């Protein structure tokens, strides 16, 4: 009997070698590394009995047709990585479904519907300031304007795709029929410590968190650090520190809320001058949009009060918003049953990170399977999921696909 977990681990190690030089894995979209990954994934898809095609958004598609007139169930994730990332994020969600289809082929099991395994080109948004192109194309939500975005070398997304042999202006023709789209399953490492802390190899995702980001600027008045009295200072950094503390307090006190101040710029940023201007970012995430929006309103009120009390000028602009995406109850229940049969119980949890599934939700119902990762780390070379856990995931995917 094949050890599917060890096969998965071997394949993940093999494709991890397709990377730019340096630590970890760096594989960006529409690059020679992407082309090599497409070639290797094509071999594996064909070995699993799938017919393979590369669409004009750069998505590699392995298809197993079902009986005539049946719909299509989708599985997949992204082939690209962050710079010096790990060997599991994204790519594992392609390798494991391919192996599940190969196992069903070897066991002579025919599914009652068609299946497509999708290897999306770009989810991380590292090379170009956009992401989720592949699933948005399938869902019919792709904006052609992003084709004019450029990378740090000044190469547009359109040109990079043309150089890759694609027809970018035809991407909008890829929209799939919602009436025949049964659902989408994405398998991903958890990127957090919950499963490891609970001693569980697998978990079932309930929702993908909504995200909003704010740019805050506080403006006060600078002066000599040794001569300006404390009582008359308009110190923008002191005001910013209060807001940073409030973001942490608010997120710590609110269930299912994450709050982060990820960037601060201080002006004039010298040792002997009172800070005049501070620019900062605030990111809020929650699987419940109402919770996230209430937190943003509370933070706005706090920031206004702080600025007034400290005689600071305040601007606070929301620069990004993405709604939460709930996983489909029926698919989630079926996936939970498959996990329970192999793990005794099922642990459910939200995903704090965005995934291709969040864009596929505009096409069809979605479900997500999390796999335990060592130390809860991700986007680093130390990323790791054990062969045993990978094998358990393949088992669960097969059981999910063949459910009654």
Q: How far is CA 198 from the centre of its chain?
A: 23
Residue 281: which of 319, 246, 324, 322 has the closest Cα?
A: 319
**Overall average pLDDT of the 288-317 stretch:** 98
Query: Is there a contact between 86 and 380 (Cβ–Cβ < 8 Å)?
Result: yes
pTM for the full model? Answer: 0.90
> What is the number of other CB atoms lying within 10 angstroms of the CB of residue 95?
27
Residue 404: predicted pLDDT: 64
The pLDDT, as a whole number, for residue 5 is 98
Per-residue CA distances from 240 to 54, 88, 235, 237, 284 (Å): 49, 37, 9, 5, 17
The answer to whether residues 375 and 193 touch, using CB atoms and an 8 Å cutoff, is yes
Q: What's the CA gap between 116 and 334, in Å, rounded?
A: 19
- 122 falls in which pLDDT band (50, 70, 90)? very high
Task: Give percent of the chain with pLDDT exceeding 90.
Answer: 99
Q: What is the pLDDT of residues 12-71, one digit of tens each?
A: 999 999 999 999 999 999 999 999 999 999 999 999 999 999 999 999 999 999 999 999
Whether the predicted pLDDT of 298 surpasses 80: yes
| DSSP three-state, residue 67 | coil
| pLDDT digit string, tens, across residues 154-166 | 999 999 999 999 9
Contact 115, 180 (CB under 8 A): no
Domains of the chain in sequence order: 4-208+326-401 (3.40.630.10), 216-322 (3.30.70.360)
Chain segment 54-98, per-residue pLDDT in tens: 999 999 999 999 999 999 999 999 999 999 999 999 999 999 999
């Amino acid at each position: 009997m094949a050890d599917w977990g060890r096969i998965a681990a071997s394949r993940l190690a093999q494709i991890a070698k397709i990377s730019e030089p340096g630590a970890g894995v760096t594989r960006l979209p529409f690059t020679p590394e992407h082309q090599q990954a497409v070639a290797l994934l094509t071999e594996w898809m064909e070995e699993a009995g799938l017919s393979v095609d590369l669409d004009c958004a750069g998505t590699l598609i392995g298809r197993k047709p079902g009986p005539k007139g049946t719909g299509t169930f989708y599985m997949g994730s992204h082939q690209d990585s962050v710079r010096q990332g790990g060997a599991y994020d994204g790519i594992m969600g392609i390798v494991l479904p391919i192996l599940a289809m190969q196992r069903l082929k070897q066991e002579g099991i025919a599914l009652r519907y068609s299946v497509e395994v999708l290897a999306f080109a770009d989810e991380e948004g590292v090379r170009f300031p956009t992401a989720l192109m592949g699933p948005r194309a399938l869902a019919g939500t792709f904006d052609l304007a992003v084709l004019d975005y450029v990378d740090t070398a000044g190469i547009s997304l359109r040109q990079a795709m043309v150089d890759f042999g694609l027809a970018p202006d035809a991407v909008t023709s890829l929209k799939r029929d919602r009436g025949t789209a049964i659902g989408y399953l994405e398998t991903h490492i958890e990127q957090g410590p919950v499963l490891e802390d609970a001693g569980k190899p697998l978990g079932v995702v309930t929702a993908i968190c909504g995200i909003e980001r704010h740019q805050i600027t506080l403006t006060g008045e600078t002066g000599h650090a040794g001569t300006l009295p404390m009582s008359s200072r308009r110190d923008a950094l002191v005001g910013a520190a209060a807001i940073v503390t409030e973001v942490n307090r608010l997120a710590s006190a609110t269930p299912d809320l994450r709050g982060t101040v990820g960037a601060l710029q201080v002006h004039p940023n010298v040792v002997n001058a009172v800070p005049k201007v501070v620019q900062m970012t605030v990111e809020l995430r929650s699987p419940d949009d109402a919770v996230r929006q209430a937190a943003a309103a509370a933070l706005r009120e706090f920031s206004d009060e702080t600025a007034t009390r400290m005689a600071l000028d305040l601007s606070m602009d929301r620069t990004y918003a993405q709604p939460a995406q709930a996983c489909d109850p029926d698919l989630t229940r079926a996936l939970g049953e498959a996990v329970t049969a192999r793990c005794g119980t099922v642990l459910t949890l939200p995903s704090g990170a965005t995934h291709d599934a969040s864009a596929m939700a505009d096409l069809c119902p979605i479900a997500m399977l999390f796999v335990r990762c060592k130390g809860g780390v991700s986007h680093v070379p130390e990323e790791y999921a054990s062969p045993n856990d990978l094998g358990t995931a393949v088992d669960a995917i097969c059981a999910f696909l063949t459910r009654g």
